Each structure stands twice: as C-alpha cells, then as structure tokens.
Chains A and B, each alone.
Chain A
Amino acid sequence: MERQVQFRLIKNGVFKILVVLLAVICLIPLLLILYYITKNGIAVINWDFFTQLPRPIGESGGGIFNSIIGTIILIILSSIISVPFGIATGIYLSENKEGKLPNTARLCVVVLQGTPSIVLGIIAYIWVVVPFKSFSALSGGIALSIMMLPVIIKTTEETLKLIPYNLKEASLALGVPYYRTILKVILPAGINGILTGFLLSVARITGETAPLLFTAFGNQFMNFNFLKPIDSLPYRIFFYAMSPYPEWHAFAWGASFILVIIVLGFNLIARGISAKWKVQF
C-alpha cells in the first residue's frame, strides 16, 4: 500500500517535469527565430532603409520604402474587399444556425481556410491578371482578401453567437426593424470580437508571399496605381534572399525584422482590443 502510493507520487512528478520540459522545447525555435532575425536585421536598419527606394544592382545602399508602402496598400485593398463580405457572411451564419445554405457556407469557409495560399494566388491570376493583361496591386489585394475571409467570417459568427438572445428581443420589442437591430444593437455589442478577428486576419496576410508571386508581382519603384505591379515586404525578402549579393542578403534580414515587428504588433493590438473593449452584458 505504502509503496504503491510512493510509486504514484514519483510518476506524478515525472509527468509534471515532462510537460514543462516539452513546453519549453516548443518555445526554443520561436525564440531562436526572433534572436536571429533581430541580430541580423537590426544591423542594416537606419533612416535610409525606411525612406529610400531599392538601388540597381552594383550600387550599394538604398532601402525598402516602396515595399513598406506596397504592403500597406495591399492590406488596405484586401481589407476593403474582405470586411463587408466577411462580416455580412458572419452575421448570416450566426442568425441562421441550421439550414442547407448556412451549412454549405460553413463547409466552404472551412475548405477555404485550408486552401493553400499559392492556389489563391493562381485563382486571382486567372480572374484579374489575365483579363487586365498586367500584374497588379488589385489582383494581389483580391488574392489576400480571399485569405482573410475565413478568419473574419468565423470570428464574426462566433462572437455574435455569444451575444445574449434577450438583447435582440429587447430591441425587436421596441419596434426596431430587424436590420437596425443587427446594425445598432448586435454588431456594437460584438465589436471587440469582430475587430480582433479582423486584425488577426490582417496579421495573417501581411506575411504572405505565395499569393503575391503571380499577382502583385513586385516592383522596384514606388507605385500608387492599383492596376500596376506593386512591391511588398514578403516579396522583397524573397527577392533579396534569392540574390547572390551579400548586401541584399543583409537587406532581406532587415526587411524580415520589420515584417516580424509589424505582424507582432497586429497580434498585440488584437489582444489589447479583445481585453479592453469587452462589452459587459
């Protein structure tokens, strides 16, 4: 009896240590990535790196100003496209829990979430690049917006499902039409969840390279025309990393560092919003 208890206590201790150990091992790659990116990236970062355009081969110096602006333009474009569709679908799914169309839509969302990003790039290539006969910011925005959709739809649906039914009743009982009830009572009550989902989806697409290869394509110059190719941070990293020049390799590290900081920033803001703007029922 005594021995059995002793044995179990030992097993318990071993299990606890094992769980902590495995969790720590899990964190090592992440910390290593951050360490290398910071160590290699911070060396090239200076004012010029943010404000100058890339220089031609053979000339040293220059920066990635166009890539930063390009990434911002792509984020804005894809958000403008995906937010209305995503939130509308999320509302529809939360309001219609059962039925053929809602269930089909839910299945589509799951499939879309699992679709490789390069496939979405090819789709946008066929839809936009081929008819317009040019790589463009617009096609890149469309490819990225399709990537954002599942995240926005899912978080909107889950957030709105958690809002107490009696709020909707309270509004309808005052004679408020259904659409106004959704827009003025239900959506504001779920705004923190919806915003969080939106920011997470932005964080997800900011680092995407594959869908941009056939769409936004990349551009050495500054471009504000939606119908012309545009640069982006992940594409610039890809381009510099593939080059044979040591200086460009260093630039790739610098651009990676900036990209990681931006994505991390979006994630942290998303966390902050979900905690701070929580609506108390």
Chain B
Amino acid sequence: MEGTILRTEDFSAYYNNNQVLKNITFSTPKNLVTALMGPSGCGKTTLIRCVNRMHELIPDAKVSGKMYLMDKDIYSMEPIVLRRKIGMVFQKPNPFPTMNIYNNVIAGYKLNGIKMPRDNSDAIVEQSLKSAGLWNEVKDFLYRKGTFLSGGQQQRLCIARALAMKPEILLLDEPTSALDPKSTAHIEELIVELKKTQTMLLVTHNIAQAARISDYTAFLYLGELIEFGPTEKMFTVPKDRRTEEYLTGKFG
C-alpha cells in the first residue's frame, strides 16, 4: 500500500449504550477508492459519519478507539477544523437553495468567512466544477440558483462544493442512491476520474457499484468488519463465508 490517509484502530461506536460498530480496524490508501459495503443497518453510514464527526449531531452518540487522518488523531481535533479537511457528499443532493451555483461551489469559504480575491475564487470555482464534470453544463449560468439543476447535476454540484475545499479525503455517503441510472453512471465515471488526485471513502449498498469503482472494499455486517482487502480479490475469492453469502445474494 502507498501512503495511508485515514486509519482506524479498534474503533467502536454506540448510540444510547447500544453498540453499532465493533472494533473496526481498517485504512484507506491514498488516491484510491475504498468502499464500505454491507446490508442496511450494518453501520456503514455510522462509520463514515464518525470520520468527520457528524455523528456528534445525534445526542447520546459515543465512540471509543482511535481514528487518524494523516496520522493526526481525529478525536483530539476541533470538529470545525477537521471538517474543513474532509469533504462529504450526502445521499440526497443538498445544494444551498438560497445561493447561486457560483456561491454554492465556494460555500465552504464564504460560510466560514474566509475572504479571498475575486480571481482566486473564480479559479477555484472553475477548477472545482471542471473536476466535478459540471463546468461545460453550467458555465453560462453560474449566477442562477443551484436548485434549478437536475438531481444528477445537483449531486455533481455538491461534489464540486466538497472538492473546492481541497479535502484530504472525500466521503461519499451513498451518493447515487437518490439518482436515476444515467446520472448514477455519470457520477461513477466521475469518481473513477477523480481517483487520480483524490482519496475517497464510498458507502454503498450496491454490490455492483462497489465492484465497478472501488479499489479496496470493507464488508461490514452487524457492526463488525468481516473482511477488508483489495476489491478484486474479495469479489473473486472471499475469505469469509458471510462475505460470500452476501456477494451471492443469500442475504442483505
């Protein structure tokens, strides 16, 4: 493995003393896509939310164990500092409805009160939209509201918004589950393209999607990390019986 961006050690999470993640240890290699896969309720969304500490929005959520971003302990950082280094894309596209496309892309700077010269922000907007594969579609109406775009375009706008902050890692929480097949294919191509420069952690309940676009896969079941390894290997010769059963559709 080349450099590691994110690493967890014996990581557990609890809601109301109910353990939902059990001693998870895994890592995400630089500039590759790592997929978190498993049936619903297995804890994959909880795990990804623990990475940028979004689980703290839920009262009575607790964690134990260690999690490191670039060898820095995530749980000893300020959440607002940490979250600026980690991009996140959600299940449902959620562009800011009061902002135009331009301001949506640089929302991370605007909302945080980071001032910069116009040329700089223009460059960031253009570059982020290009990386998200949206530039050609929206360059002529950057000052229109982002909510007029189609669902797939909105999701790419959200990806551009996350990329604008130049994150160390991009978290994708089932980014295509609310989209039609065509938009899904578009986003998947985009993820493969982004891999050249961006580390990504992808949550998906779609086995085929994990197989198509991820390099490493972690299979979670009932809060346990059953298997973690290169995607190709796991899909051809799974080590664990439960992984095999899940991949062949016996449950989940």
> Residues of A with Cβ closer than 8 Å to B?
164, 166-167, 169-177, 180-181, 184-185, 188-189, 191, 279-281
CA distance A176 to B110 in the complex (A): 9
Least Cβ distance of A195 to chain B in Å?
Answer: 14
Q: Which of B52, B92, B95, B145 contacts A173 (CB 8 A)?
A: B52
Of the listed stretches B66-74, B76-84, B227-235, B243-251, chain A binds B76-84
Interface pair B80/A175, CB less than 8 Å apart: yes
State in angstroms the CA–CA spacing of A166 and B154 once bound together.
14
List A contacts of B79 (CB < 8 A).
175
Asked if A167 meets B80 with Cβ closer than 8 Å, knowing A174-B108, A174-B112, A281-B147, the reply is no
**Is A180 a contact partner of B147 (Cβ separation < 8 A)?**
no
Query: In angstroms, how far is the closest chain B Cβ from the Cβ of A102?
Result: 13
In whole angstroms, what is the CA distance A170 to B90 when docked?
Answer: 8
Which residues of chain A are near B88, meaning CB under 8 Å? 173
Q: How far is the CA of A184 from the CA of B162 in the complex (A)?
A: 18
Residues of B within 8 A of A189 (CB): 96-98
Docked complex Cα distance between A46 and B128 (Å):
63
In the bound complex, CA of A184 to CA of B114 (Å): 14
CB-defined A-B contacts under 8 Å, sample of 15: A166-B94, A169-B57, A170-B94, A171-B96, A172-B83, A173-B83, A173-B162, A174-B83, A174-B107, A175-B83, A175-B85, A185-B96, A185-B111, A189-B97, A279-B97
User: A172 to B112, Cβ gap below 8 A?
Assistant: no
- Find out whether the CB atom of B111 lies under 8 angstroms from the CB atom of A169: no
Q: List the A side residues contacting B112 at CB < 8 Å.
A: 174-177, 180
At the interface, yes or no: B220 with Cβ under 8 Å from chain A? no
Closest CB in chain B relative to A215 CB, distance in Å: 39
Query: Within 8 Å CB of A176, what residues of B?
Result: 80, 108, 111-112
Q: Which residues between 109 and 127 of chain B lie within 8 Å of chain A, taking CB atoms? A: 110-113
- What is the CA–CA distance of A181 and B94 in the complex, to the nearest angstrom? 14
Judging by beta carbons under 8 Å apart, are A164 and B113 in contact? no
User: Would A167 and B96 be within 8 Å (CB), given that A174-B165, A175-B84, A177-B80 are in contact?
Assistant: yes
On chain A, the residues within 8 Å of B107 by CB distance are 171, 174
Give the 5 A-B residue pairs with the shortest CB-CB distance, closest first. A175-B84, A175-B83, A173-B88, A174-B108, A166-B94
Is B33 located at the chain interface by the 8 A CB criterion?
no
The answer to whether the Cβ of B185 comes within 8 Å of any Cβ in the partner chain is no
Q: In the complex, given contacts A172-B57, A175-B165, what are 19 additional A-B residue pairs having Cβ atoms less than 8 angstroms apart?
A: A167-B94, A171-B107, A172-B54, A173-B83, A173-B86, A173-B88, A173-B90, A174-B108, A174-B162, A175-B108, A175-B112, A177-B80, A185-B96, A185-B98, A185-B111, A279-B97, A280-B97, A281-B97, A281-B147
Q: Which among A170, A185, A188, A189 has the highest number of chain B CB atoms within 10 Å? A: A170
Q: How far is the CA of A279 from the CA of B90 in the complex (A)?
A: 21
Distance in angstroms from B117 CB to nearest chain A CB is: 21
**Shortest beta-carbon distance from A192 to chain B in Å:** 11
> B158 near A: Cβ within 8 Å?
yes
Residue on A nearest B88 in the bound complex, by CB: A173
Residues of chain A contacted by B81 (CB below 8 angstroms):
175
CB nearest to A188 among chain B residues = B98
Partner pick for A180 among B54, B113, B162, CB 8 A cutoff = B113
Q: Which residues of chain A have C-beta atoms less than 8 A from B108's C-beta?
A: 174-176
B161 is an interface residue with CB less than 8 A from chain A: yes
Tell me, rounded to whole Å, the shortest Cβ–Cβ distance linking B115 to chain A.
14
A191, B98: Cα distance in complex, Å = 10
Please indicate which of the listed interface residues B79, B81, B86, B112 has the most CB atoms of chain A within 10 Å of its own CB. B112
Residues of A within 8 A of B111 (CB): 171, 174, 176, 180-181, 184-185
Bound CA span A170–B111, Å: 11
The answer to whether B98 and A279 touch across the interface, beta carbons within 8 angstroms, is yes
Residue of chain B at shortest CB distance from A98: B59
Residues of B194-242 at the interface with A, using a CB-CB cut-off of 8 Å, are none
